[in-house]
Structure 1
Amino acid sequence: MSDDQWGAGDRSNWSNHGFVMVGAERRPLIYGEHPHSRSDNRHYVEMDGEAVGFDGHRILIGVEITASNYLKGSHYSGSEVRKGGSGKITADGEVVFEFFTRDTRGALLRAHHLIGELSEHSSGWLSKEARDRLVGRKVYYRGVPAVITRLIVDQGCVILETEDGKPFPPPVYRDAEDEDESESSIKDEVLSPHIWWHRS
């Protein structure tokens, strides 16, 4: 074991692996030449020119659940105080998804499910660097070639436009009585099953 090599090694051989939060600061995450632990971990954080061994969270995930009551007024059935609330998922301190809830325990379960989905999602939504690359990305929306033109990050939504600038065709499930609401720009959740991300 005396010939084991440890440490980040030669700076010219470091690989950039994005950024991580250390306290309130974004720091470069690097992949070094040699491990810093017996678990063969070669990730380091560059801090003030030095490579410091990294065994932290790649993305800091947070959940905020807020319960509330509100007055629902109705001319027909009378007024009633109802329960409500919101759930928020944060990534590195930024709200990246928000949802309505009426039940705190149910909201915690939904947040758990959403974090799992977002962690594995093709958009890379939890990563700021991945989100920054989404505008201009080509996707399919309900089978139509489309482009992401804008993000509404705190709502977990994207704005899509058809690639050819024409309105999106109406969905097949639209009722015949519905007015024609063909749109050339649509807002939908990043997790929407209508978005197909694997378009070359």
Structure 2
Amino acid sequence: MGSILKINSLSTTYVDSGHSNNNFYECKNIYAGSFHKTSCSSVMFKSLIQFDLYNLESRPLEYAYLCLYVKDINSDTSYYSNNTLSVYKNLSHYDPKVVTWNTTPETDNVIHLNIASSEIGNYMKINITSFVNSWIKNDDNYGITIESGNFYSSLVKFASSCSEKPPLLFVEYKNPKFDYSIYDDYKTHSLR
């Protein structure tokens, strides 16, 4: 097992469709999902998170986990809400202090996740190894966007980088010099 590194988020912000020209950079919370005004109208929220990976070695990782502190989930069951969100890799640079709903970067490579109500008050872990390996290999780290997987998702409140429980990234490198001799004492089985 290699060494595990903990990386604090560089910046967080959120944007919403109801305030399409506003920025919420210095808030203690970030939001993803939707808030239903009526059965036909909702406000959509996206969270944008950046990590400084400058000091990471340029070799493949065993894993990279994004850890987000879940503060609350606003589920409106009258509109068939669900706790499904999508995590996307951003494709271009954005300034977290000025980005708005209208200027969010384009995204690609989605990871879908369901958030259980039991995760409220805890950190949840999301495997983003493919994103981080791509950032290391291609030097194109523009962060991630978390948003609703559909119109009927719940509104999830996460702690921001301005809070006491900021988003974290845990990474572990693959160990290229693994010593297989430690298994010499085990009986070898073959397939039949």
TM exceeds 0.5? no
Higher Rg:
1
TM-score for the superposition, normalised by structure 1? 0.20
Looking at both structures, which has the greater relative contact order when contacts are Cα pairs under 8 Å and sequence separation is at least 6? 2
